[in-house]
Amino acid sequence: TVGANKQAIKIIGEHTNKYVQAYFAYDSKKSGGITMSHLRFGNTPIRSTYLVNNPHFVSCSTDAYLAKFDMISGLRNGGTFLLNTVTPAEEIETLLPNSYKRLLAQKNAKFYIINAVDLAYEIGLGRRTNTIMQSAQLKLSEQLLPFEKAEALMKKYAEKSYGRKGEAILNMNYAAIEAGYKHLIEVE
């Protein structure tokens, strides 16, 4: 997650006129632990020394966190919430706590789901959902960077990161990038 978000902030910082800032907090056990990424983008230099408390966009990579953490109380009106879940869209209402449903409605928020878990296994990436989620996040943040450009840049960075590991690994990452935006589902 940290690597994918570092790459996303690098893409936006280097290929737009936006200023960027990133702060990451993660569990000491790292892999499998809780990770929180606080990313800022702006038209003027960013000198914030505090976490993002009122985000425009929140992404949750593990649906079990819905019952453990309050992720969206600070979400801005008209904001976007992306959830990675294996729960089908027609059953998502039973998974989502009432407090989330209420807040999403009150904030007139957009709500999207993606099943990055099954997609990663289908592609051959095992449990690695970060590239799929990064692609979905950049698709939903097109106001920062047109997605066609973001997709090309993600593929360029994938080639730089995974090209020496062979064509099969590189193609899996390309497939993950494409899966991230092709399989987003908006939930009303």
Please report, as a single letter, which amino acid is at residue 114.
I
Mutual angle of helices 116-123 and 130-140, in 10-degree steps: 130
Tens digit of each residue's pLDDT, the chain (188 residues): 677 888 888 888 888 898 999 888 877 776 667 788 888 888 999 988 888 999 999 999 999 999 898 899 999 999 999 999 999 999 999 999 999 999 999 999 999 999 999 999 999 999 899 899 999 999 998 888 889 998 999 899 888 888 888 899 899 999 999 999 999 999 98
Q: How many CB atoms lie within 10 A of CB 1?
A: 19
Report d(CA 112, CA 121) in Å as an integer.
21
Length of the chain as a residue count: 188
This prediction has a pTM of 0.89
